[in-house]
């Protein structure tokens, strides 16, 4: 009789726990799916950031190239800085402005070179044009080089560099 009781007890244990293994397997699969989705999202996000970082670096280099091109033109001839917006081109191993209102398309990037007038107050400090006693400084121009592009997610991005350009003439000191 004891033997029959043991069989009955074992039989009850098996059938009472029969669905528990299936529930454990489903819960384990759900946890694995959540972990796999999180890991995939993390990997794809880091690849997207890496790509965006590369584009920002390229745009920054193009903006710096624009600044250096304008500085080269300015050093050659201040009188060439007559535009409010222009592009630059390297023709015959020399930087030149393309013309008023022009942009450059450099692959997926667009570069604009913008010039703004500079106003000064009575003490010589840069100020807004509407400040009383402000006057236009014809020997200074503000330069902004803006490089724009669209990311893979169709968002507009840009890098901008600014510089104050002045028409400094070197004067040789008078000999005694």
Under a CB-based contact definition with an 8 Å cutoff, are residues 111 and 159 in contact?
A: no
d(CA 140, CA 106): 29
SS3 (DSSP) at 166: strand
Q: DSSP letters of 91-150?
A: ETTEEEE--TT--EEETTEEEEEEEEEEEE-TTS-EE-TTSTT-EEEEEEEEEEEEEEEE
| pLDDT attached to residue 171 | 45
SS3 (DSSP) at 160: strand
d(CA 41, CA 162): 37
List per-residue pLDDT tens for the chain, 176 residues long.
555 555 556 555 655 555 567 777 888 888 888 888 877 777 666 665 555 668 889 999 999 999 999 999 999 888 888 899 999 988 888 999 998 988 899 989 999 999 999 999 988 899 999 989 999 999 999 999 999 998 777 788 999 999 999 987 544 455 54
Give the residue extent of every domain in the chain. Answer: 46-166
| pLDDT attached to residue 60 | 94
| pLDDT attached to residue 27 | 83
Sign of the alpha-carbon torsion through 31, 34, 39, 40: positive
d(CA 18, CA 87): 76
| pLDDT attached to residue 159 | 94
């Amino acid at each position: 009789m004891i033997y029959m009781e043991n069989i009955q007890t074992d039989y009850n244990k098996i059938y009472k726990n029969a669905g528990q293994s299936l529930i454990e397997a489903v819960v384990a699969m759900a946890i694995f799916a959540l972990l796999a989705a999180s890991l995939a999202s993390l990997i794809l996000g880091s690849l997207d950031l890496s790509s965006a970082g590369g584009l920002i670096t390229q745009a920054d280099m193009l903006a710096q190239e624009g600044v250096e091109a304008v500085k080269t033109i300015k050093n050659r001839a201040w009188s060439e800085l007559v535009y409010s917006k222009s592009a630059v081109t390297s023709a015959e191993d020399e930087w030149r402005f393309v013309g008023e209102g022009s942009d450059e398309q450099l692959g997926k990037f667009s570069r604009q070179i913008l010039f703004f007038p500079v106003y000064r107050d009575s003490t010589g400090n840069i100020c807004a044009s509407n400040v009383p006693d402000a006057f236009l400084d014809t020997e200074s121009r503000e330069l902004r080089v803006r490089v724009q592009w669209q990311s893979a997610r169709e968002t507009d991005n840009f890098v901008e560099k600014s510089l104050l350009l002045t028409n400094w003439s070197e004067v040789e000191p008078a000999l005694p």
